[in-house]
Structure 1
Amino acid sequence: MTTRRTFRWPSLLTESGRGIAFGGDYNPDQWPEETLDEDIRLMVQAGVNTVALAIFSWDKIEPREGEFTFEWLDHVIDKLGAASIAVDLASATATAPLWLYERHPEVLPIDRYGHVVNAGSRQSWQPTSPVLKEYALRLCRKLAEHYKDNPYVTAWHMGNEYGWNNRYDYSDNALAAFRTWCEAKYGTVDALNEAWGTAFWSQHVNSFDEVLLPRHMGGDSMVNPPQQLDYERFGNDMLLDFYKAERDAIEEICPGKPFTTNFMVSTDQCTMDYAQWANEVDFVSNDHYFHEGESHLDELACSDALMDSLALGKPWYVMEHSTSAVQWKPLNTRKRAGELMRDSLAHVAMGADAINFFQWRQSASGAEAFHSAMVPHAGSDTKLFRGVCELGAALKTLSDAGVQDTELKRADTAILFSAESEWATRSETLPSMKLNHWHDVRDWYRGYLDAGARADVVPLAYDWSGYQTIVLPTVIALSDEDTRRIADFAENGGTVIVGYATGLIDEHFHIGLGGYPGAGNGLLRDMLGIRSEEFNILGEEAEDEPAEIGLSNGLTTRLWQNDVTSVAPDTRVLATYVGTAAADWELDGVPAITSHPHGQGAAIYVGCDLGRHDITHLLKELNTTAPSDERAPDQRPGGGEINAATTTAAATTHDPRILHTIRQSSDGTIRFDFYLNRSKQPVAVNGVEGDPIIAHRCETDAVGYTLNRNAILIAKTSC
């Protein structure tokens, strides 16, 4: 079992070394020398106290092979340090210099079609290339030797968004490494053949030297699913190994400073298995970019809920987000008035103790020239930069009030997330190719918010035994061990909510036999007290077929319905399929949602897909978001004499238009309440305890506060 590194947080250059970190990526090598003093003057004006430096500066540090130039970087760091601005110094390996590619084109990645991925963008190198690694580690050692005693460098920033451009490499180096990885994982060829099901389509291998990468196989040919899933794991592991090699090279020379790398967690992406990566950093960092449209704030909170779990409740770092629009989406919307402040403080509300942007000064050229920054093209006399200064002042207020080191109060419900299930739902061999585990997690998270409650998002691999309720939305892959953990959770009094496409395969993409869901050799099915035989899949591709099916409790399903043919005697049917469309598909009266007692707890089966609003309706119907002491026995999931204290999904409910979180000190003496308006309309909030210290876009009267659109209210209580 992997041992987690000790939590270490980077110091600031304040008198105490403490405070909320505020700043962003700084790229002075893009600008003439005379810009440096102006940048630092504006940073001080805005309250910036940290920058990430030299992320893409390999060619500036080593302009020619073996020729290292640190004078320019020394000059920048000295100027920043003199202004009390700490430096998070990068390993500078995110993009190799063109001279390296010209001299060693063999380091370039290969795509699944056999095409070379050419230089000119980021990470145009193979994670498994010994040549690239030799050059990269030499650079790391040179940086460590030069800056190991520099007092202004307070943290190391390894790489940048590992896997952004080289997550999938099909080179010969990758093939050799994949064969070695498979041998280490399985030990014997027989074990690999069993795991991969190679009896199908004559894919038996006689030795590990016959193992292939899942390259393009012509036409619409389908990749062997367990092989593809192992290739996903391999790609994650190769990049993690590269990160660790860089970190260890620096740490051997410079052991006294904390290490991190920026994850990429939003509900549009979760590139790596960050439950593993979190073990290898000293503090967890993330790059988060908002989702355009009405889900903006909710999506941010859902992503941050996973980040807080990855950090094990310790403070975590927003390494990048945007002041306004980005330039890399099909639709690059700007932020509305108040959203720069609201988004930044929302991250703090979800446990972050560092708020940083990409980037400090908006580029005048290059691929990201139209990506917003702290200082925009229009300069410092702008409403955007004034917003940055307003944010800096607010973060200073929170720092002085003692927010740093307080931890986000845990919810009573954990929505479980699995990177491996997310990878598995991308397979083109499933009953529907419209499955998306991470989006289902987001929909359930938003469903809880709409029901006036809040859930945490916790990796499946972590310990969630202390929660009262767990939700498994499209956790399609469950090992026997994880299925046993889930069953034990219910047996010990917890409530388990299992989604329609959960537990269909094991970690090797093998189908559990005997009916669905077959995880744990039928244990999951037995826990739920149901058995399904087929999947009913809907979609607009089927002309003149029903596009949706109604349920007896008024809900609607539009993608996937399980044909439940067996129900245990003690299973309670909460809803069935009804109506003309259900009859047309021979589902009329078939159980759609059930509840079954298991040990001291309950197992709820949601046998069909539901939209966010229907999830909210279901949660209210189940009464899992009400305070536990308000429930009657017949209102509890399962309907039996279940201990009410173990069935609640949230300790309290409130106005669903308000996102309410609490951060508190470990000794309980300090508490911060954060209130964010989720709606477009003003919302009244009464009964706020403590002293308001931030009231952004809020109005007050004798009764309480009115939170306008994009508002946030923060109150402090000291005991």
Structure 2
Amino acid sequence: MSQRFPESSKSCDSSEPHESSVFPTSSRGLKSPESPESSEPSTIRHRRPFRWPSLLTDSGRGIAFGGDYNPDQWPEDVWDDDIRLMTQAGVNTVALGIFSWGRIQPAEDVWDFDWLDRIIDKLGHAGIAVDLASATATAPQWLYQRYPEVLPRDRYGHVINPGSRQAWRPTSPVFKKYALAMCRKLAERYGDNPFVTAWHMGNEYGWNNRYDFSDDSQRAFRTWCERKYGTIEALNEAWGTAFWSQQVQSFDEVLLPYHMGGDSMVNPPHWADFERFGNDVLRDFYCAERDAIAEICPDKPFTTNFMVSTDQCCMDYADWANDVDFVSNDHYFHEGESHLDELACSDALVDAFALGKPWYVMEHSTSAVQWKPLNMRKRNGELLRDSLAHVAMGADAISFFQWRQSRSGAEAFHSGMVPHAGEDSAVYRGVCELGAALRTLSDAGVQGTELRRSDTAILFHADSEWATRSQTLPSMKLNHWHDVRDWYRGYLDAGRRADIVPLDYDWSGYATIVLPTVIMLSDDHVRRIADFVKAGGRVIVGYATGLIDEHFHVGLGGYPGVGDGLLRDVLGVRSEEFNILGAEADGEPSEITLSNGATTRLWQNDVTSVGERARVIATYQGAAAADWELDGVPAIVRNAYGEGEAWYVGCDLNRADIARLVREQLGDVADGPDGELAGDIADGPDGEVIHTVREGADQDAGETVRFDFIMPRGKEDVVVHNVLGDPIVMHRCEKINDGNANVRDYVLHRNAILITRTAE
């Protein structure tokens, strides 16, 4: 099966050899290809080769199943019962020692590995592999008290005190010294242990120390800026420091974007670079920990858990993905009607980070968590459905936080695989049911198959996500990631499924690309878009896309102005102002209708001219449009460019209007080179199911296999027809039996999942 995205390699400094290959990432200070006019990705990077952890099975293969295990939080007489229950549930791997630094090193010169030796031995002899953590996510109290200089500071100068997680500075040489010593001790003791099959570095890097305003951070930021810009003149130009007399004369004058009093606004390019700096220093810290272990134990794969959901994506994980051997993610469900859609949307981005290779769910929940304003439990069937939905989106490992629900501490009411009620509980029975289903999928050959791609890629950009949080934009209600989610759900509503691909990855093989509120585009990005359309592709550009470049400079000559006007040429439009709506303006119209029946409620671009090859699809109309002097102004424009076409959606649309646009206007290239999922269910319900396909070689059976995963999105029963393959998992669904053995119709109830297998 062809690779979905080009391989890439690690970006952190290391002497460890790795295969080189072209991989697109951020263009910040990285080498450009020889041909800048090419539509190829803008930079050359290296990526660590894909390596997947083995299980303790005869073949080492199978879908991994387990969770975070914290035996040091329980009396040792509980351990044997834990292993009995794990074996009963089908658990075959655990993440161990994530928050165990204080138990392993109770004092600066005291080490205690005996307990860890015993539990690893017990687990291994029970056939349960260990993903061993570096234990550095949170330091022991003695380190904080003896070396308080490791504590981070917030932008007000306040010390971030210990007591929670990650109360340390990524730039602290003192903390790094002790953290790397821990890594080396673990590698020396367990590097050759056959029961330890992978290394879990840190935990959710950046959860509590993403923004550090300490003196160490100040020094490191100056060094980072000098390395990036080379000269102070280049920095002043990039940051636009002539505004408000912010010029600096040397890198020693560069400050962190501290609190400046009241509601003062931070210079946007200054803050954008601080976001990038925070990402880079945490990634460098991860790499230092990884390499400290790799020097001693290089032959086991490394990962760290990303935090990707549509309510968070705090790091540039497209960049971090270069530096792990396999991608891992922590995902917690979003309450309400978006539950399954949000899961699929997040997973689509994680699958792209993994370059289509299998990836690892490191954490999710069996039921409720305890850290949200509203902590809803999962309904009957959702524990299994959610887990298998991750498999449907490309995951080959399903783990939970955590194995046994804590009886004390901050997360005591966070659900676990063994809840407070014990093994005689619906949750634990659901865990056992899931273990059996995952064994079935392993036996059927799912592991190692890859998610079939769509013909449409919705592009995600970490820099644009950070930029839309700025308080200096025409509207503070912009959110790039949420707009990506809305377009993703709009495609689902239209009965189609899109992929989500990082902007800096290679999307040239798609038929259509969508840029929702990708507010920040470099000249290179714009050239790639233009080349894509010129070669016959379709681009859909949203209303707040391409307004600023990578330095937060506004493109001139009319909107969207980036690329020195090239993006306007591709789109065939030019606008001069933004019309911003909101209920806050008493007595003013708060929504405007379009001639195609859609409604806009936030942002309208005042398009003053369209190109000769452009065709206006919809205009603003009605009394509210006339009141805002927009009556008859183009709102949606289609422009022919080269061999392809560009669609300009000059205003915000809700999900229903996006779905209608996709269904009625954007359906004429439904069959891309790899095919769309529409048609795989010949008479399937329009927009009522999520349907994915995984395919590849079944190494054990020696044949090519295809797995179809079908899940209803709503509360009502759904009937699907002409489903390919033989059913191997039928959860809350049944085959319709009308006496004809050839009928392949099924009824799916709420929270169902149907999985079929076809050998080809």
TM range (shorter): over 0.9
Distance 2:693 2:677 in 1: 13
Distance 1:620 1:687 in 2: 22
- Tell me if the contact between 1:469 and 1:647 (Cα under 8 Å) persists in the aligned partners: no
- Alignment of 1:682 onto 2:717: yes
Q: 1:233 Cα deviation (Å)?
A: 0.1
Which residue matches 2:619?
576
Select 1:195's aligned residue among 201, 213, 238: 238
Give structure 2 stretches of 5+ with no counterpart: 1-43, 738-742
Select 1:64's aligned residue among 80, 85, 107: 107
Select 2:141's aligned residue among 81, 88, 98: 98
Distance 1:471 1:447 in 2: 12
Select 1:706's aligned residue among 744, 747, 758: 747
Identical pairs, percent? 75
Q: 1:699 Cα deviation (Å)?
A: 1.8
- Alignment of 1:131 onto 2:174: yes
Q: 1:623 Cα deviation (Å)?
A: 3.5
Distance 2:277 2:356 in 1: 28
Which residue matches 2:758?
717
- CA deviations over 1:541-566 (Å, ceiling 9, x no partner): 11111111000000000000000001
- Alignment of 1:663 onto 2:704: no
Aligned with 2:318: secondary structure? helix
Which residue matches 2:344?
301
Which residue matches 2:307?
264
- Tell me if the contact between 1:493 and 1:601 (Cα under 8 Å) persists in the aligned partners: yes
Distance 1:620 1:555 in 2: 14
Give structure 1 stretches of 5+ with no counterpart: 629-644
Q: 1:624 Cα deviation (Å)?
A: 2.3
Matches within 5 A, 1:435-584: 435-584=478-627
Matches within 5 A, 1:361-372: 361-372=404-415
Select 2:64's aligned residue among 11, 21, 41: 21
Q: 1:620 Cα deviation (Å)?
A: 1.5
Q: 1:39 Cα deviation (Å)?
A: 0.2
Aligned with 1:106: secondary structure? helix
Select 2:632's aligned residue among 568, 589, 592: 589
| Structure 1 counterpart of 2:339, one-letter code | H
- CA deviations over 1:401-453 (Å, ceiling 9, x no partner): 00000000000000000000000000000000000000000000000000000
Q: 1:618 Cα deviation (Å)?
A: 1.0
| Structure 1 counterpart of 2:759, one-letter code | S
Matches within 5 A, 1:368-379: 368-379=411-422
Q: 1:507 Cα deviation (Å)?
A: 0.2
Distance 2:340 2:673 in 1: 30
Distance 1:76 1:456 in 2: 41
- CA deviations over 1:447-483 (Å, ceiling 9, x no partner): 0000000000000010000000000000000000011
- CA deviations over 1:501-555 (Å, ceiling 9, x no partner): 0000000000000000011111101100000000000111111111110000000
Matches within 5 A, 1:116-265: 116-265=159-308
- Tell me if the contact between 1:627 and 1:650 (Cα under 8 Å) persists in the aligned partners: no
| Structure 1 counterpart of 2:735, one-letter code | T
Matches within 5 A, 1:283-362: 283-362=326-405
- CA deviations over 1:123-171 (Å, ceiling 9, x no partner): 0000000000000000100010010110000000000000000000000
Which residue matches 1:402?
445
Distance 1:327 1:486 in 2: 43
Select 1:412's aligned residue among 447, 455, 472: 455
Distance 1:376 1:305 in 2: 30
Which residue matches 2:15?
none
Distance 1:70 1:157 in 2: 18
Distance 1:626 1:341 in 2: 35
Aligned with 1:347: secondary structure? helix
Distance 1:127 1:580 in 2: 56
| Structure 1 counterpart of 2:577, one-letter code | E
Aligned with 1:135: secondary structure? helix
Q: Which moved more, 1:663-672 or 1:196-205?
A: 663-672
| Structure 2 counterpart of 1:716, one-letter code | R
**Paired residue total:** 703
Which residue matches 2:728?
693
> What TM-score comes out, normalization by structure 2 length?
0.91
Aligned with 2:295: secondary structure? helix
- Tell me if the contact between 2:218 and 2:255 (Cα under 8 Å) persists in the aligned partners: yes
Q: 1:666 Cα deviation (Å)?
A: 5.2
Which residue matches 2:5?
none
Which residue matches 1:634?
none
- Tell me if the contact between 1:619 and 1:625 (Cα under 8 Å) persists in the aligned partners: no
Is the alpha carbon distance of 1:394 and 1:131 closer, same or farther for their aligned partners in structure 2, counting shifts above 3 Å?
A: same
- Tell me if the contact between 2:454 and 2:674 (Cα under 8 Å) persists in the aligned partners: no
Q: 1:2 Cα deviation (Å)?
A: 2.5
- CA deviations over 1:366-393 (Å, ceiling 9, x no partner): 0000000100000000011000000000
| Structure 2 counterpart of 1:657, one-letter code | E
Distance 2:589 2:296 in 1: 65
- Tell me if the contact between 1:565 and 1:590 (Cα under 8 Å) persists in the aligned partners: yes
Q: 1:568 Cα deviation (Å)?
A: 0.9
Q: 1:652 Cα deviation (Å)?
A: 4.3
- Tell me if the contact between 1:412 and 1:651 (Cα under 8 Å) persists in the aligned partners: no
Cα root mean square deviation, aligned: 1.2
Aligned with 2:334: secondary structure? coil
- Tell me if the contact between 1:625 and 1:651 (Cα under 8 Å) persists in the aligned partners: no
Distance 1:82 1:619 in 2: 54
- CA deviations over 1:248-286 (Å, ceiling 9, x no partner): 000000011000000000000001000000000000000
| Structure 2 counterpart of 1:215, one-letter code | Y
- CA deviations over 1:68-103 (Å, ceiling 9, x no partner): 110000000000001000000000000000000000
| Structure 2 counterpart of 1:370, one-letter code | F
Which residue matches 2:11?
none
Distance 1:38 1:647 in 2: 49
Which residue matches 1:637?
none
Q: 1:228 Cα deviation (Å)?
A: 0.2
Distance 1:202 1:624 in 2: 52
Which residue matches 1:611?
654
Q: 1:626 Cα deviation (Å)?
A: 6.4
Q: Which moved more, 1:64-73 or 1:618-627?
A: 618-627
Aligned with 2:507: secondary structure? coil
Aligned with 2:530: secondary structure? helix
Distance 2:677 2:616 in 1: 24
Is the alpha carbon distance of 1:126 and 1:135 closer, same or farther for their aligned partners in structure 2, counting shifts above 3 Å?
A: same
Which residue matches 2:130?
87
Is the alpha carbon distance of 1:548 and 1:390 closer, same or farther for their aligned partners in structure 2, counting shifts above 3 Å?
A: same
Distance 2:362 2:493 in 1: 29
| Structure 2 counterpart of 1:82, one-letter code | H
- CA deviations over 1:607-627 (Å, ceiling 9, x no partner): 000111110011122132664
Q: 1:66 Cα deviation (Å)?
A: 2.4
- CA deviations over 1:162-215 (Å, ceiling 9, x no partner): 000000000010000000000000000010000000000000010000001001
Distance 1:300 1:405 in 2: 21
| Structure 1 counterpart of 2:711, one-letter code | L
Distance 1:329 1:216 in 2: 27
> What TM-score comes out, normalization by structure 1 length?
0.97
